[in-house]
Amino acid sequence: MGSEPQLPNPRPAAQEPAPPALQDEVLKIIREHANGDAEKIASELAPLLQRADIRARETAKSEERYRAIVENAADPIFMTDPEGRLTWVNRATCGALGYLRQELLGMNLNRIVKKGHMHKMFTALRDALDGREVKPFQLEIVTKSGEERTVEFACMGIRENGRGTAMEATLRDITDRVVIDKLKKNYMKSLEEAVVERTTEIKETQRAAILAIANLAESIDDDTGGHLQRIRHYCKVLADELRVDSKYKDSITEEYSEMIFDLSPLHDLGKVGIRDYILQKPDKLTSEEFEKMKDHAEIGARALRMAGEMIHRESIFSIGEMIARFHHEKWDGSGYPAVEINGENRPLRGEEIPLCARIVALADVYDALTSKRPYKMPFPHDKARDMICAQAGKHFDPEVVSAFVRREQEFIGIRNQFPDTHIPEGRPFELPARDR
């Protein structure tokens, strides 16, 4: 390793003037005995010189202890000249960088700092020499063997006669901490991705199950294959538009919109409890048959409420329950079912009707108007749009109708994207009671 290193002393003892008090005493003695004998002067100066010698020895011991502490410090400590050349290094610096001491002395810092970090390091050197505070920062270095390490770099300038003459710096190896932090971040990112993937799988499974149940309910009716897909997408378009531009925008969240998309296919779930001869009747229903048909709203709502209670997730199915029960209510209060409100048994009206049911009501009627059934021929989009607009404030919430008009081109696209898989023979149009 070569000879024992000599740490540059920021306060060399030989250059330190004697304390002012000691100087004053010496001058006083010399003045008093300027014409006297030398022995008298020497005897007077002896105690003072002895004190000065004691002080010098104490200073030397202090400096020796300082050198030992710095030399044996666990962290690398070194000094450079203003150009960044190493002028002194401790043992830890040699160990951390893998060089012998004599190899490091005179070496420029650009030999050990990783490319891409040199500007940061030399900016710190300049600031330190100019007397500015340099806050510790992260730096990448390269050892003699080529290993890259991450360190925390802290430095301060040494100034003499008003100018920077050297820089003292300390390195603290934080490679392991940085690696662990990266591993944690990668793990958390992977975990988040896995959660998102699993959540997506659960949602898709849930949607598939809902569609399967809804299709089972629809299979006993004359509705065709694309109906449920169209309904859910119509509802999503309406909910998204209302969330952006309507008086309801502050109360509609993205989650609410997604839940309407997921649960709207269950709007007619209760049809499984209605007799086939009523559901499959091509002609107009009698008053008695129509009253029985109305029961499907309560049957479906009750089934969804029970499903939520069974899995202790009532909140998930609450929107589905409201859709099933109230999607045949009308804005003017002429729909069904009737419920008890303040002691009065009547249908809901206006904003008493849950918003999700108002959205599904328009989507369901639009699909009925534009679809072909055994009991009717389809209407073109323009005719269906005009009929819906004419019902704003009567059958439909005017805000929902406005949202529909703004996004009508998307309704046309959805209609084309999800055509009926089976087209039954149709007759001239007449909207049956079940769809009113």
- Percent pLDDT > 90 in the chain is 49
pLDDT at 68 over 60: yes
Q: Looking at residue 197, what is its pLDDT? A: 86
* pTM exceeds 0.85, yes or no: no
Across the strands, what pairs with 140?
150
Q: Report domain extents, the chain.
A: 1-58, 209-435
pLDDT at 58 over 60: yes
Instruction: Reply yes or no on whether 271 is catalytic.
Output: yes
pLDDT at 63 over 80: no
Question: Which one from 120, 247, 271, 383 is the annotated catalytic residue?
Answer: 271
pLDDT tens digits for range 80-125 = 999 999 999 999 999 999 999 999 999 999 999 998 898 998 999 9
Q: Looking at residue 152, what is its pLDDT? A: 94
Q: Looking at residue 203, what is its pLDDT? A: 75
- Which residues, at least 6 apart from 67, have a Cβ–Cβ distance to it below 8 Å? 7
pLDDT at 3 over 50: no
CA angle 291, 327, 261 (to 5 degrees): 145
Position 170: which residue type? T
pLDDT tens digits for range 377-420 = 899 999 999 999 999 999 999 999 999 999 999 999 999 999 88
In words, the CATH class of domain 209-435 is mainly alpha
pLDDT tens digits for range 34-47 = 565 656 666 666 67
d(CA 279, CA 221): 5
